[in-house]
Structure formats: C-alpha cells, structure tokens
Structure 1
Amino acid sequence: MSTKNVSDWLLSQNRYQRAEKCVDKKIEGKAKTISITAGKGGVGKTSVAIKVAKSLADAGYKTLLIDCDFNLANTAVKLGLPINDDFASLIMGTKSFEEVLHRDGQFHLLSGCNGNLDLFENRLEYDKIILDILVGHEDEYDFILLDSPAGIQKDTLTINAYSDYRFVVVTPDKSSITDSYSLMKILNTKYGVKTNHLLVNKVSNLAQYQKIVKTLSETVDHFLKGRVNVLGSIEYENKAVDKFDQILLGSANSSIHKNFIKVVNRFTEENISTLFSDEKFEVPFATTHFGKQEVQPTIC
C-alpha cells in the first residue's frame, strides 16, 4: 500500500474525524480510544497512561490499557507485575486475547514484551496489529488507552492518527516542547489531525505552566491552524522516578493524585459530559493549583 493510500485509509477509519466529539460511548456502543503520547521520552508518559486508565476504571468504566512499546514495555514494571512474552504469544496465535490480559477489576492491561528476540527480528507492522486489536475488542470496553511510543516513527503516528483523542504529555524541557510540536505538526500535515489535548508534567510554578501553554497553543494555532485543549498540569516532585510512581499510583490523598483527577474530570466534562456524575468526584476540577493560587487554563 502506498504512503498516500495508507494516509487515506487512516483518515477514513479515524472515528475522531467522522463522529461528533460529545457522543456518549454508552449510546454509541464502542470504546473511546485515547492515545497517551509525547514528542520525546522521559516525560512521564507511561505513568500518566497508567494513572488515567486506573482513574477511569476506579470510576466504574471498563478500561483497557495497551502498552504499544512492543518490546520495551514499562507498564507491567511500573505496576509491579511479572514480565512475560504474552504479547508475542498473542501475535503468534499461541494464546488468545483473553489469556494475555492482566485484570484488576475494571482495569485491564495488555502489556508488551521486553527484549523478545522473535519480535526484534520480525518485520511485522505492529501498528496494524494494534489497530486489529482495537477493531476486534472496542465493543467490549468503555475506554481503550494506548501508551504509544514517544517520537514520530510510523507506529506512533499511525496509533495517534487512529485514536479518538490524543493526550500529548510535555515537560518544561525545551526539547520536550519542540518535539511535541513536531509530533502535532506531522499528525496535522500527514493525517489531518487538528486537535490534541495537552498535559504539562513536572511543572515548578504557575508562570512556567502558563508560558508553556501559551507557547504551544499560539504556535499550533498560527502555523497549523489547529487547536490545543489544555487538560492541566502535574506539579514537579523532587523524588526518584520509582518513588514518584509509588505516590502517583498509591494514596488517593496525595496532591499528585488530586492533580490527575482534575485532568481526567476536565477531559470528560468537556468531551464526554455524561460519563462522570458529580457523585463520583467531589472536587470541581477546572482549575490548576499552585499553592493557594488558582488559574483557569487557556483553551485555544
């Protein structure tokens, strides 16, 4: 299939482009797909993917998280689960989809492998395998989250272009901001993707957060004629990554946890308003907190 034909096929399959954004999944009958993506690695993307998936599951919605970094998977590691080759077994047909899932209530995980030689030597198009999994199981879930590899390689672009929504995780690091814009630029130019959601991670203060939001929003609007929907921010924690993950995935009373609930609720309120009721989350989450100061993030 030529490059042009692949692009045309993706655009025709992209339910984000075909359907109204605010259609309730309960009525539509298919899962909403969210890719958690980034222009570069090391920004906390996988931690964000796990936390968002767990938050949706805790709210009562059947959620599947797929680790799309097929041979360098980190989701199982961060969750303290055994590393295995089940993803390779699924591809080879020796295990079924049901057999390779990790289940924890409403949260399901399809993890990738770590250093599997068969996957390394195989030239399969793994992005199309993921799309096949989505098409085959999207009527079984409320949400399917895709922890996509960082960067602008073909697999990442295909997964992001197909998804209903894209959460672009960015940090104050200049290369993170530049690479995230490059990702949005190629998705816009090649696949016609005009809208992305922005989550700013590891933020030190309000001014820093506002500068990042303003820079990316105005650049995307001016040069791409696109839109960045701001989800909010996660404050910087001066802790080792493992310790940060323990806090993130642990206590519901931590400030990190509360930041993430704001992000999840902001997204659902603006895009799928019927999914969460006021009883499920007690705090109004349209603001970002730095100490006692609040700011309403700008939506371009």
Structure 2
Amino acid sequence: MRPGDTVAVVSPSGPPNAARLRNGVRALEALGLKVVLGENVMARQTLDYLAGSDAARAADLQSAWCDPAVSAVFCSRGGYGSARLLDLLDFDAMRAAGPKTLIGYSDVTALHHVWGTELGLPTLHGPMPAYEPFCDEPRTWEHLRAALFDDPLPVPGSLVLSPGRAEGVVAGGNLSLLASLCGTRYQPSFAGKIVFLEEIGEEPYRVDRMLTQLLQTGALDDVAGIALGSWEECGDPLPVLRDRLVPLGVPILAGLPVGHGTPHLSVWLGALGVIDTESCSLSGRLRDGEGAL
C-alpha cells in the first residue's frame, strides 16, 4: 500500500463502538489513507451481536472487495458472525476483482481461512479500527504501519516448546474459529504449513477440546511447525499446549505477542514463513524480497 490509497471499513461480525471506530478512522487517515465506510458498518438487528443481517454484511464485504478504488478492507471488529457469510459471497466475482488485502483477527479468522483457500491471497492478521489497542499502543501501531506499507517487522517469541527450524506458508488464527470450521465444507487442512494459533477467554480444558478436535479431524496432520500467540484469560494453557502439540514432533514457538493481548503485532497469513527457535522468532517473506513477517 501507499499513502493516498483508499481503504474500506466493514463489519462482517459484530457492531463496533462508534467512538472507537471514529478514532480508528482518524488514525488511518493520519497515515495518508482515504477511508470509506460500508453502508451497514454501524447497523443493528434483532440479534444484537450481529452488525445487521447476514445479507447486508455480506453485501458490504463483497462490495468493498470488488470496488476497484479500494486497496484494502479492514474489518471494524470481531465478535461473532463472519462464518455466517461464507455461503453468501460470490468468490468468482471476488477473484475477478484482483488482489488486495483483508485485515482483522479473532472472528475474522473464518475469512482469513477462506480467503486463502478460495482466493489464494495472503491476508493480514492484525488490529482493527474499533478495537483497542489500534493506534493507542505504540508497538502495535508501528508493526501495523510496517506491515501495511510493505516493510514487515519480525515477530519475536518468548518460549520454545519444541526446538528446530520450520518453513512453510503461515495459516491459522483463532483456535475456536478454526475448530468451528471442522466438519464443514471449509474444514481446515494445514499439511506442510506453519500453523498460528491464539485464543481468549477459554479454560484450559476447552483449549484441550478444540485442539483435540483439530487433531482428530486431521487438520494438523503433517504440519511443518506451530507458532503460538497470546492466550488471554485462558488460565495457564501451556501444559495443555505441550501435551497436545509437542507429540506432533515439529518446531513449536510460543509467546508471540499476536492476538487479543497487548501489544498485538501483525502477521501475514498465506505468506511464506520460517520458525527459528534459535532466534526465537517467526520471520518470512510476503513477496519476492526477503523480509520478516
């Protein structure tokens, strides 16, 4: 992206807080970006955890993606609801729109996954305009700016669960969203990939249950490596993570400040990545040049 580009903000999941969204839009404009809002970005409906009807949210997302003036699409926030849109999107039309960037995390994991499988495009697992931190936490903001303007910064870890070096396309996101896709037509398969996982508000036994679901469906068969982000309000998940993931026999790096915690660094999904437990980092390249995720 470059200053002067147009970005759209849509709400494929829950309704955003108006004041936070305004602050996020101002921050994007301060980067020299033009910001347009989806028609239904602030909509409400009977189910108050959804930002408008499924049809309206899907139409906003597809309209923004297919607009030739738009270079990137930010999801305003997560919550719940993006998976309800997957069968309503015209992926043929979205493929014809050409490459651009989708940005978000948490519930947006469903979109990240399908953008990779249906559109074959890298997406940015990063902070959203109506969430804190966005522009208020310096390291989060610096990392997002770097990722958007093609100078991605390294993502350091803090703990090695299983040593080694692994290369592969980075995929994944929020654990509960990935588990919810199991048994659907969008069921994940991460063979040959570096799997990134994070979560919020789940007790260790629930983390165990969701990891077991991924293992039993074969989603984690033949993975190249695993990168673990933040586990906010999840008690102490490390014993469970060790128990369920170390037997896979692949390099595992934990403690990446990516996900619901602060700071929230940005990671390109669908990009080539490298886990190096000696340097305790996740790095990679987005295009032809070498760089860090």
The TM-score with structure 1 as length reference comes to: 0.35
Greater relative contact order (Cα < 8 A, sep 6+): 1
**Greater strand proportion:** 2
The TM-score with structure 2 as length reference comes to: 0.35
